[in-house]
Amino acid sequence: MSQPIVAPELYINRELSWIEFNRRVLAQALDEHTPLLEQAKFSAIFSNNLDEFFMVRVASLKSQLEAGLSTLSDDGLTPLQQLEAIQERLRPLLELQQQHYRHSLKGQLAEYGVHLLDYQQLNPGQKQWVDDYFRRSVFPVLTPLAVDPAHPFPFVSNLSLNVAALVRDPDSGRQQFARVKVPQKILPRFVPMPVELHQCGPRPVYAAVPLEQVVAFNLQPLFPGMVIEGHYFFRVTRDADLELRDLEADDLMEALQEGLRKRRMGGEVVRLEVADEMPEAVVHQLMDGLEVEPEDLYRINGPLGLDDLMSLLAIPLPSLKDKPFKGRTHPALARTQKSQLEDGSIKQEEFESIFRVIRHGDVLLHHPYDLFSTSVEEFLSQAADDPSVLAIKMTLYRVSKDSAVIASLIRAAENGKQVMALVELKARFDEDNNIQWARQLERSGVHVVYGVIGLKTHTKVLLVVRREKQELRSYMHIGTGNYNSKTSSLYTDLGLLSSDPQIGQDLVELFNYLTGFSKQQSFRKLLVAPVTLRRGVEERIRREIEHARAGRGGHIRAKMNSLVDPAIIALLYEASQAGVRIELVIRGMCCLRPGLEGISDNISVSSIIGRYLEHSRLFHFANGGSSEVFIGSADWMPRNLDRRVEALVPIEDPALKQQLEQLLELYLQDTGAWHMQGDGQFTQRQPEGEQQLVQASLMQRWRGRLRGA
């Protein structure tokens, strides 16, 4: 059966929808209710998001354009039209970000003793200290690169910050151009100065000057005997996507390493950012040397590369940050935590095996409110040490640098267990990290595989096989987020700990599919991409259509990161027209147009941008009163449904299902949510009275439970 295709006028361009998402991120920075250092954080996230967008999405469109491809997007735009629309949408946002930094953030931070100073603002004592710092810590690592007939235009690396220096030879009178790379990867972008040197107003908590200005106002030692006539800042973004052939595992690692070397060097330039005051002659010289088209030029009225604002979160001013929050140990797992005595021994009478807890019933986890360390990491740690555990299998997509997960897998292998880890080497921008983990795991005796040829393994699953009373029992964790302790405290994610035999058998067969030559085409309970997930989702949407047409009502609630798939969107339009009520919570891209008369009247879309990155995927189908609820790793995008290995797991325990239904209701009632209009724009509610924010409500609930409420 051919997939329905949505009409172009009913589909929102995915790139423009992504820009709308990043606009909502920037709005968090501009919101006066956001603590000041958190404003800096969101501005940094906005910039970092844009860097990746240019390195991947804009780079892809430019490649299509250069290859002469005229394929239209699902909304009917050519690559050139999309690039033009991207520029039109982005430029006002960049100016908004800079206005906020220059006219709001800096001034308000100064009121609290945090001074982000320009070099020209420094008093004599501060200038002396900065100049000494330059000679001591910066000058030795700089390499000025001249541009003249004997010196071709130098290579400018991806995302590097640079000074374009104009110098004149006093003998010949000839003006020359040189490039100096700012070493912000090895030195702090904001150079902190001794606070006692600040002489204006109250004693500061923190005073700093941008590193690029430290370099720019100390160029003379780099060009002795020359006259410095000007300096201007610029930054380059290059194509950083890796295009890989389908290769066997050994070849894949080799190809990835070669691809990473090329990425570090950088592909074609896709964006040139220059200081707004840079003269046209210098701009043209850069554009010629870097082979940049006019449409790829962005003049910035302020500092370039504001992703470095993230470093300001280290300033010790709690009043300018979100109130600290640490999750709790899930109540069902509280007795599974080993209590150590002073002599290092364990209070066994207080310790209960996590496997016994899971045998008694499924455990639903919600991070960061439930601690990752005392749930998922504890599960894996006990499995590594338990003599009854025979095998551990798991998928690894993104892992933290100092990973307790990796340590447990290594310890399990050393304890003689069969340990298999599928390490997804193609996890974008984590490839190098994953290569290092793969090698370390292999050296420790872990069986490491790299997944199915032609597919990226994105599913988050962990299987533990244990011998109990002369038979084998499977225990498992299936989640929406990575096995990453760092992001588990920054992202909201859901997870299920279970010993359901049918889910366990599904996972056994899924791992056989991932590691061998299995052509598994069906599963008992899991919906698995690219095998059964698309069909399973579409069948459930059609079932809601049938319920609605039969007068039994129809209702779909779903929370995800992105809704892009044209076939799913077309089916949702059909469901809306049949009377199915559809409520969607979508953090990022949404290519569906809600609220269109006669087409999507029954569809609403909201988006929540808050303290934590909303990362959980949760799907609810009313099914005429016999509801089905799933969690898992997949968004409704073609890549998740057709080109990745993904898994959704049903939540069948009535109490846990009710918890998730209530959670969806809480998200839908968030008074700070952004609401999508039919034209793709989002507006934020401005409620009167006290706001009901889902993340704040959940933190309050967990704090109450910690107090015994």
Q: Would you say residue 199 has pLDDT above 80?
A: no
Q: Looking at residue 515, what is its pLDDT?
A: 83
What's the mean pLDDT when you consider all of the chain?
90
| 27 assigned to some structural domain | no
**pLDDT confidence band for 337 (50 / 70 / 90):** confident
Same-domain pairing of 223 and 286: yes
Q: Of 301, 320, 339, which closes a domain?
A: 320
Q: Looking at residue 2, what is its pLDDT?
A: 40
- Determine the residue type at 401: K
Cα gap 174→275, rounded to integer Å? 24
Mean pLDDT across the stretch 580-599?
97
| 16 assigned to some structural domain | no
Cα gap 309→329, rounded to integer Å? 33
Identify the top-confidence range among 69-83, 361-375, 515-529.
361-375
Mean pLDDT across the stretch 307-333?
95
Q: Looking at residue 259, what is its pLDDT?
A: 52
Check which CATH number belongs to the domain holding 176 and give it: 3.30.1840.10
Secondary structure of 221-247 in HEC code, one letter for each residue: HHCCCCEEEEEEEEEEEECCCCCCCCC
Secondary structure of 17-72 in HEC code, one letter for each residue: HHHHHHHHHHHHHHCCCCCHHHHHHHHHHHHHHHHHHHHHHHHHHHHHHHCCCCCC
Same-domain pairing of 503 and 561: no
Same-domain pairing of 515 and 581: no
Q: Looking at residue 702, what is its pLDDT?
A: 80
Domain that holds residue 584: 528-706
Q: Would you say residue 577 has pLDDT above 60?
A: yes
Distance of CA 337 to the CA centre of its chain: 31
Q: Looking at residue 43, what is its pLDDT?
A: 98
Same-domain pairing of 141 and 167: yes
| 7 assigned to some structural domain | no
| 13 assigned to some structural domain | no
Secondary structure of 524-583 in HEC code, one letter for each residue: CCCEEECCCHHHHHHHHHHHHHHHHHCCCCCEEEEEECCECCHHHHHHHHHHHHCCCEEE
Cα gap 653→657, rounded to integer Å? 6
Q: What percent of the chain has pLDDT over 90?
A: 75
**pLDDT confidence band for 355 (50 / 70 / 90):** very high
Same-domain pairing of 129 and 42: yes
400: burial class by Cβ within 10 Å (0-12, 13-18, 19+)? middle
Higher pLDDT, 351 or 340: 351
Check which CATH number belongs to the domain holding 608 and give it: 3.30.870.10
Cα gap 427→434, rounded to integer Å? 8
What total number of domains does the chain contain?
3
User: Among 139, 92, 136, 100, which Cα is nearest to 116's?
Assistant: 100
| 151 assigned to some structural domain | yes
| 563 assigned to some structural domain | yes
Same-domain pairing of 539 and 492: no
Axis-axis angle for helices 79-100, 59-66 (nearest 10): 150
Q: Of 262, 294, 320, which closes a domain?
A: 320
H-only helix segments in 277-318:
280-290
Task: Return the structure tokens found at 312.
Answer: 């300001």
State which H helix or E strand residue 513 sits in: helix 501-515
550 contact partners, CB below 8 Å, separation of at least 6 = none
How many residues make up the chain in this entry? 709
| 173 assigned to some structural domain | yes
Q: Looking at residue 247, what is its pLDDT?
A: 38
Same-domain pairing of 313 and 344: no
Mean pLDDT across the stretch 295-322?
96
Do the beta carbons of residue 17 and residue 593 sit within 8 Å?
A: no
Tell me: the pLDDT tens digits for 84-121? Answer: 999 999 999 999 999 999 999 999 999 999 999 999 99
Angle at 166 between CA 163 and CA 167, to 5 degrees: 125
Cα gap 569→619, rounded to integer Å? 15
Same-domain pairing of 303 and 375: no
Mean pLDDT across the stretch 8-15?
96
Q: Would you say residue 202 has pLDDT above 70?
A: no
Same-domain pairing of 548 and 423: no
| 6 assigned to some structural domain | no
Same-domain pairing of 492 and 539: no
Cα gap 65→292, rounded to integer Å? 14
Same-domain pairing of 514 and 533: no
Same-domain pairing of 466 and 551: no
Q: Of 320, 350, 368, which closes a domain?
A: 320
- 175-181 and 161-168 strand pairing: antiparallel
Higher pLDDT, 529 or 470: 529
- Residue 87 has φ and ψ, to the nearest 5°, of -60, -40
Q: Looking at residue 680, what is its pLDDT?
A: 94
Q: Which of 41-50, 247-256, 446-455, 612-621 has the lowest mean pLDDT?
A: 247-256
Identify the top-confidence range among 27-36, 166-175, 232-241, 244-253.
27-36
Q: Where are the beta strands (DSSP E) in 112-199?
A: 114-116, 145-147, 161-168, 175-181, 190-192
Q: Would you say residue 127 has pLDDT above 90?
A: yes
Q: Which of 401-405, 603-607, 625-629, 675-679 has the lowest mean pLDDT?
A: 401-405
User: Among 537, 544, 557, 539, which Cα is nearest to 624's?
Assistant: 544
Would you please indicate which residues are annotated as catalytic (active-site) residues? 458
Tell me: the pLDDT tens digits for 416-461? Answer: 999 999 887 664 555 666 677 778 888 889 998 887 777 888 999 9
Q: What is each CA distance from 123 to 130, 193, 265, in whole angstroms?
A: 11, 12, 40
Please state, as a whole number, how many other Cβ atoms lie within 10 Å of the Cβ of residue 706.
12
